[in-house]
A = this chain, B = another copy of it.
Amino acid sequence: MLLRMSTLFLRTLREDPADAEVASHRLLLRAGYIRRAAPGGFTWLPFGKLVLDRITEVVRAEMAAVGGQEVQFPALLPREPYETSGRWAEYGDDIFKLTDRRGAELLLAPTHEEMFALLVRDLFSSYRDYPVLLYQVQTKFRDETRPRAGLIRGREFLMKDAYSFDLDDSGLEAAYAALRDAYQRIFDRLGLDYTIVAAQSGLMGGTASEEFLATTPVGEDTYVGCADCGYAANTEAVVTPPAPARDPAAQPAATSHDTPDTPTIESLVALANERRLGDRADWTAADTLKNVVLAVTAPGGKPAPLVIGVPGDREVDLKRLAAVIAPATVDMFDDWASLPSLVRGYIGPQVLAGLGIRYLVDPRVAVGTAWLTGANEAGRHAVHVTHGRDFVADGTIEAAEVRAGDPCPGCGTGVLTMRRGIEIGHIFQLGRRFTDAFSIDALGADGKPVRPTMGCYGIGISRAVAAIAEQHHDERGLVWPASIAPVDVHLIAAGKGDQIAGALALGSRLSGLGVRVLVDDRAQVSPGVKFTDAELIGVPIAVVVGRRFAEGYVEVRDRATGEREDIPVETLAEAIASRAGISGVPSA
């Protein structure tokens, strides 16, 4: 492949685009890889398309290596199968729905669990047919509330989604393990630095789930890690070690006290210490019990109040809460008129059972622990309010914020640090949610029906372009890994005469050897501009055909290291072949 800059549909921008906040978005725009076309929708320009295609090739090759077979479903599908699985309602406004000219309801499918399950039922009938691993590479559509960060969160994006079908749990576990390995090979080949984190499976249901997060400070997923044991988890998936239960009777009796002017936890703690409530002067926010009233709505249901009790030094993390209660949704409670007995600002859990209000607590609020909390009277709080004696929670919930410094749930000794990443892959052991929904059975060896169990495995291909750009750039531009660069070599004619013809001739020779080449053959453009453009565009190797070309020398520049070397023209092919990662060049 030989591309000429003089005719290439690529224009670099000198200025940073105003609305591009993150480096990948900014640089992909400036270097002419993408262009905004719609809210959350981007056009791939020729160089962007080349990178996207190379990533897709890597994904396809590794999927084939684990026995994946490629198919392709329509994106536009009827409502019915998604209605049967419950996802039509669960996704709600997050997916695009439309009506055809006959009034039939359709959706642009976010993923295809239902369709893959139905297809396998269609073709397979016997246990002998299993296992099978199918995948597709497809444009997906989601009606994001806030498309942002360029390719990282768009409304139209390219995704590889794979689905495994096995007859038993050990088969699913083996498929999951094989895909997990394949994903590591894929992300390694793409040059991505990533962490595998335990994840909530969210709307997918199922039992086990891990995310592959490309580590970068601009990532929109927060996760925690432990340097001691290697534990890593999405904050939604962090399991709080429960505090040990004690004997509630061992706590002093609860007493209530006037606590004027304590609108905040901080002011309450100050007053409690000042007045030595419960004979203590060492109260901290962690000794208080904050009770947050929320309204939870199950799909198709009405809002119902839920109170969540967390230590007063922590907030309720609405993202963690949402993950736990999905497909139900949560809002702040505002129907106070319906609960006149609750005293806002002074709610304690002592009265909730009597009012029939569901009460869930953070695992730290163990049975036998005692708290400073509301006394359910205006201007009063109570001390020694003890779980298992003064109130009994309906259960625990993982809804409190996770913080740096929290003890590691993996080893118990280390502490957690907070990190950020971009979700580039997600694997799930789905189980039988979808085969149950459609009553899909295979005929077993013993003549009895066997219900297959599913895994599903996604990679955000267009998002990977952004993740790679985030991890591979510097202040001058993009620095592509050789494995997915748009071209292998960027030949720069630094001069108007022989240099242009020379660069084109060299380009032809390299192209004939299977090297992907871009030649900057622009006659009206100065060498300085060409060098700046080359650094912005980020091809791994630049070859400058300049002043010493007449003597038979060109300069080879390594974009990543900045190394420059003058080499004789006749050894150029060898020099390029010898550099790691450039495929297709026969070494001399």
Contact = CB atoms under 8 A, between A and B. Distances in A.
Given A9-B132, A35-B119, A123-B11, A46 B75 contact: no
A128 B6 CA distance: 10
Given A101-B143, A115-B37, A123-B11, A45 B71 contact: yes
B72 A104 contact: no
A321 interface: no
B70 A49 contact: yes
A43 B115 contact: yes
A76 B155 contact: yes
Interface stretch (A91-99, A210-218, A490-498): A91-99
Interface string A254-288: 00000000000000000000000000000000000
A520 to B, nearest CB: 16
Given A44-B72, A100-B143, A122 B35 contact: yes
* Secondary structure class of chain A's binding surface, majority of residues: mixed
Interface string A37-55: 1110111111001001000
Contacts of A128: 524
A517 interface: no
A145 B115 CA distance: 24
Given A35-B119, A37-B77, A38-B77, A72 B43 contact: yes
A52 to B, nearest CB: 8
A73 B49 CA distance: 10
A35 B118 CA distance: 11
A41 B134 contact: no
Interface string A74-99: 11111000000000000001001110
A43 B119 contact: yes
A330 B124 CA distance: 49
A322 B52 CA distance: 42
A145 B104 CA distance: 12
A80 to B, nearest CB: 10
Interface in A181-203: none
B98 A93 contact: no
Nearest to A95: B101
Contacts of A96: 76, 98, 100, 106
A417 interface: no
A46 B133 CA distance: 12
Q: Give this chain's copy count.
A: 2
A398 interface: no
Nearest to A120: B9
A156 B76 contact: yes
Nearest to A99: B98
A177 interface: no
A8 interface: yes
Residue from A43, A100, A155 whose CB has the most chain B CB atoms within 10 Å: A43
A128 B5 CA distance: 13
Contact of A38 (B38, B39, B78): B78
Nearest to A74: B41
Interface in A119-168: 119, 122-124, 128, 132, 134, 139, 141, 143, 145, 155-156
Contact of A41 (B8, B39, B77): B77
Contacts of A134: 9
A53 to B, nearest CB: 9
A170 interface: no
Interface of A: 7-11, 32, 35, 37-39, 41-46, 49, 52, 67, 69-78, 93, 96-98, 100-101, 104, 106, 108, 115, 119, 122-124, 128, 132, 134, 139, 141, 143, 145, 155-156, 524
25 contacts: A7-B132, A10-B123, A32-B123, A35-B119, A35-B122, A35-B123, A37-B119, A38-B77, A38-B78, A39-B78, A41-B76, A43-B72, A43-B73, A43-B74, A43-B115, A44-B71, A49-B70, A49-B71, A52-B72, A96-B100, A96-B106, A97-B98, A100-B143, A101-B143, A128-B524
3 A-B pairs with the lowest CB-CB distances in the bound complex, closest first: A41-B74, A98-B98, A44-B72
Given A9-B71, A44-B72, 13 more contacts: A7-B132, A9-B69, A35-B119, A37-B73, A37-B77, A38-B78, A42-B74, A44-B71, A46-B70, A75-B156, A97-B98, A128-B524, A139-B139
